[in-house]
Structure 1
Amino acid sequence: MSDAITGSDVLFVLMGAIMVFAMHAGFAFLEVGTVQRKNQVNALVKILVDFGISTVSYFFIGYAVAYGVDFFVNAAVLSGTAETEGYAFASNGYDLVKFFFLLTFAAAIPAIISGGIAERAKFWPQLFATAILTALIYPFFEGIIWNGNFGLQEVITNIFGVGFHDFAGSIVVHAVGGWIALGAVLLLGARRGRYRKDGRVMGIPPSNIPFLALGSWILCIGWFGFNVMSAQSIGGISGLVAMNSLLAMVGGIIAALLVGKNDPGFVHNGALAGLVAVCAGSDIMHPIGALATGGIAGALFVFAFTLCQNKLKIDDVLGVWPLHGLCGLWGGIAAGIFGLEALGGLGGVSFMAQLVVSLIGCAYALAAGFVVYGLLKASMGIRLTEEEEFIGADLSIHKIGAYPEEDLR
């Protein structure tokens, strides 16, 4: 029975890892559909190569930073059929699929950032940033929250009676990715012609609404692996997480539809806003609380995206700061509201603990974004030249466009 349970857990976590890995196709097509045609190939290549760099960085450095576990032992030990001093790996290779699962979370950080810096960022400096973020910056905070490193969770528990709760990463993944992206976007500057000297804001419409929608659909489907399988075992799985994810998603869709006045970009991103926000408290909220959390997130995204683009004149191409940064922040706080027993939740959370650590996480990520991209800007530059940006990242970087036959005409 023990072998059967362990084997089931391995399969369960592996399926979760595959579902979240598939979400990276969603990130890619969401960006492909949003950017101009001359930058579509770059979006596809960036997301895939970022995943490759993230895997190597997290395997050799990041996972050890977060969890104190490395893989520098023989395959018999890794698979759990032999033991070594210091650490015993679980049987059936459970710890290996757990790494795969958590890697897909780490790799989401550069995938999130990619959408904000699209259409004018250099290729190789972004890969350097990916390596730094997934080897050091993200795992450092991940280990603090999910592994209890450096005693912050203990301090929060002593002050507020309970620790910080983030079941599936509203803060650890989404807010961290979104606030790092804000620093990168501000250092990079706006796209050519986006904002005129006379104060006018020039619209750059999405290149392909069907691709944008496809990206959103892929992300929505994969998100049920992201949230539900964060239990990391068959015994820990909860239908409540699935129900709450579903209702938060539809809450985001409906709110974005109403507030965004039927705009398809807002509708498809509204679904993602709801899912971002419910990650933290998906295991403890009542479904009605999840619906409210998602609805508020959908409206928040529309308002924040409009403010960011038109008033603050921050050229965040896919709106990753409003979507992941602000909706992620809201999700961390919402877990401390709708997770309370008084509002139908399971309890075990504190509003103040959620608020304080959520703000700490966002401040850390914003500072990290400025440091990492600031150093890269000073040392190697992070922006394409005006000519390269005018031609497009596809031809400037990859020497081929998304529609090669048309380039020959």
Structure 2
Amino acid sequence: MEVTRTGADVLFVLLGAIMVLAMHAGFAFLEVGTVRKKNQVNALVKILTDFAVSTLVYFFVGYGVAYGISFLHPAAELVGKGENAAFAANGYDLVKFFFLATFAAAIPAIISGGIAERAKFWPQLIATSILVGLVYPLTEGMVWGTRLGFQELVTEWFGVPFHDFAGSVVVHALGGWIALGAVLMLGARRGRYRKDGRVVAIPPSNIPFLALGSWVLCVGWFGFNVMSAQTIDGISGLVAINSLLAMVGGILTSLLVGRNDPGFVHNGALAGLVAVCAGSDVMHPVGALITGGVAGALFVWAFEMCQDKWKVDDVLGVWALHGLCGTLGGLACGIFGLEALGGMGGVHFGAQLTGTLTGISIGAVAGLSVYGSLRAVMGIRLSDEDEFMGADLAIHQITAYPEEATTVHDDGQALAARAAARGASAA
């Protein structure tokens, strides 16, 4: 029976890992639909290579930092066979790594949207290595493991540990606050703000791609949240319904506050899902709906304030979406998770405040220090010429629509030839 249970758990976690893996396609298309055409290829390649680097670094370094586990053992031991019984049967620990690696890779995917259209390629991969190898695993290990005795200390203070079921703080707030530091180190895109303070509008290049990215993320998010239980026995329909209601709450409030803007509406769904991650297993569904609704409105307000008032050129609004809505989620868990408000209990607002502030502090410091150091050592921003030309041609030597570029080039040559012919005949 134990073997059967472990095998079922392996399949359960594996399916969750595949669903979260698919979310990275959502990150990619959300960015592709938001950036200008001349930067779409860069968005696709950046998300994919960040995922590859994240997986390798997390396998060899990060997972050990978080949980003290190394996979440098014979394959038989990794699947629970042989004399060493340190690993579970059927490779459960391996698929658990796969699942958590997709979470770790979300950190650079989040950052990518904030620094789009003007960041150098290779320095970003170096930043990814540092963040996924050290910064994220340390935070992960503090909250979901035993690192630094953080949870013991919180429990000693408040009687319960900091609760973050699916990563409102560990993944989203951390990634969003790191992204804010990166955006501040990079500065705004060229031409985004006039000298007199006026904002130059740069609308999304492709609303259908933006919407596709949002939908892919929404679907995958149910694997992100529900399968964070990591065992069949731990699965709860409460997580699914809370995720659903938070999502629709975010959609409707962003629709109203954002005045029917399609970009806000599709990001509003994500805002609700970010905010419900922490308490999706303990909140009452009505509490999840309220949390998602507040998150949708918060995203719209914060995005507009960043872009128009504070002149912080966060292209996809990742600080507003992940940083602030993740912060909201960490705190909301300590409110709507209380038994007095219909929740499951086992949470304390003081513990949630402590854990949330710790997470965003680590993120803010890491973002400023990592990207500030890289800026000083090698530079992190494209040259003015490359930024004007676009990251697609500057970095990858191809555009998202090469046939159009060829047509324009050929048409230009034809026009020049006709002009030269007219000049010759006139002479």
TM over 0.5: yes
Instruction: Give the drift of 1:83.
Output: 3.5
Aligned equivalent of 2:13: 13
Distance in 2, matches of 1:190 and 1:140, equals: 30
Instruction: Give the drift of 1:134.
Output: 0.6
Task: Decide whether the 8 Å contact of 1:83 with 1:89 is kept in 2.
Answer: no
Task: Decide whether the 8 Å contact of 2:8 with 2:232 is kept in 1.
Answer: yes
Aligned equivalent of 1:36: 36
Residue 94 in structure 1 maps to residue 92 in structure 2: yes
Q: Find runs of 4+ consecutive structure 1 residues off by over 4 angstroms.
A: none
Aligned equivalent of 2:317: 319
Distance in 1, matches of 2:255 and 2:103, equals: 28
Distance in 2, matches of 1:118 and 1:31, equals: 8
Aligned equivalent of 1:127: 125
Give the secondary structure class of the aligned counterpart of 2:303: helix
Give the secondary structure class of the aligned counterpart of 2:166: coil
Instruction: Give the drift of 1:153.
Output: 0.8
**2:168 aligns with one of 170, 174, 180:** 170
Give the secondary structure class of the aligned counterpart of 1:316: coil
Give the secondary structure class of the aligned counterpart of 1:408: helix
Distance in 1, matches of 2:338 and 2:303, equals: 30
Residue 217 in structure 1 maps to residue 218 in structure 2: no
Aligned equivalent of 2:406: 408
Instruction: Give the drift of 1:148.
Output: 2.1
Residue 149 in structure 1 maps to residue 151 in structure 2: no
Instruction: Give the drift of 1:33.
Output: 0.1
Distance in 1, matches of 2:149 and 2:61, equals: 21
Instruction: Give the drift of 1:285.
Output: 0.3
Distance in 2, matches of 1:244 and 1:399, equals: 45
Distance in 2, matches of 1:310 and 1:231, equals: 40
1:252-303 C-alpha deviation (Å, 9 max, x unpaired): 0000000000000000000000000000000000000000000000000000
Aligned equivalent of 1:58: 58
Aligned equivalent of 2:373: 375
Distance in 2, matches of 1:357 and 1:248, equals: 22
1:292-329 C-alpha deviation (Å, 9 max, x unpaired): 00000000000000001000000000000000000000
Instruction: Give the drift of 1:149.
Output: 1.1
1:65-97 C-alpha deviation (Å, 9 max, x unpaired): 00000011110111111233xx71100000000
Alignment of 1:76-115 (within 5 A): 76-84=76-84, 88-115=86-113
1:133-162 C-alpha deviation (Å, 9 max, x unpaired): 111010011000000211111111111111
Distance in 2, matches of 1:83 and 1:313, equals: 60
Alignment of 1:377-392 (within 5 A): 377-392=375-390
Q: What letter is aligned with 1:318? A: L
Give the secondary structure class of the aligned counterpart of 1:72: coil
Residue 260 in structure 1 maps to residue 258 in structure 2: yes
Q: What letter is aligned with 2:358? A: I
Q: What letter is aligned with 1:316? A: D
Distance in 2, matches of 1:83 and 1:28, equals: 44
1:35-58 C-alpha deviation (Å, 9 max, x unpaired): 000000000000000000001000
Distance in 2, matches of 1:331 and 1:321, equals: 14
Q: What letter is aligned with 1:9? A: D
Task: Decide whether the 8 Å contact of 1:167 with 1:280 is kept in 2.
Answer: yes
TM-align CA RMSD: 0.6
Distance in 2, matches of 1:228 and 1:83, equals: 34
Alignment of 1:184-263 (within 5 A): 184-263=182-261
Task: Decide whether the 8 Å contact of 2:67 with 2:146 is kept in 1.
Answer: no
Distance in 1, matches of 2:149 and 2:128, equals: 27
% identical equivalent positions = 74
Task: Decide whether the 8 Å contact of 2:87 with 2:93 is kept in 1.
Answer: yes
* Structure with the greater alpha carbon radius of gyration: 2
1:169-197 C-alpha deviation (Å, 9 max, x unpaired): 00000000000000000000000100110
Task: Decide whether the 8 Å contact of 2:28 with 2:44 is kept in 1.
Answer: yes
1:315-346 C-alpha deviation (Å, 9 max, x unpaired): 00000000000000000000000000011000
Q: Compared with structure 1, are the counterparts of its residues 83 and 133 closer, same or farther at alpha carbon in structure 2 (3 Å cutoff)?
A: farther
Distance in 2, matches of 1:120 and 1:297, equals: 28
Which residues of structure 1 form unaligned runs of 5+? none
Distance in 1, matches of 2:158 and 2:79, equals: 40
Q: What letter is aligned with 2:124? A: Q
Aligned equivalent of 2:358: 360
Distance in 2, matches of 1:61 and 1:161, equals: 33
Q: What letter is aligned with 1:206? A: P
Q: Compared with structure 1, are the counterparts of its residues 96 and 205 closer, same or farther at alpha carbon in structure 2 (3 Å cutoff)?
A: same
Distance in 2, matches of 1:152 and 1:68, equals: 16
Distance in 2, matches of 1:116 and 1:201, equals: 17
Give the secondary structure class of the aligned counterpart of 2:139: helix
Residue 307 in structure 1 maps to residue 317 in structure 2: no
**1:182 aligns with one of 180, 183, 188:** 180
Q: What letter is aligned with 1:41? A: V
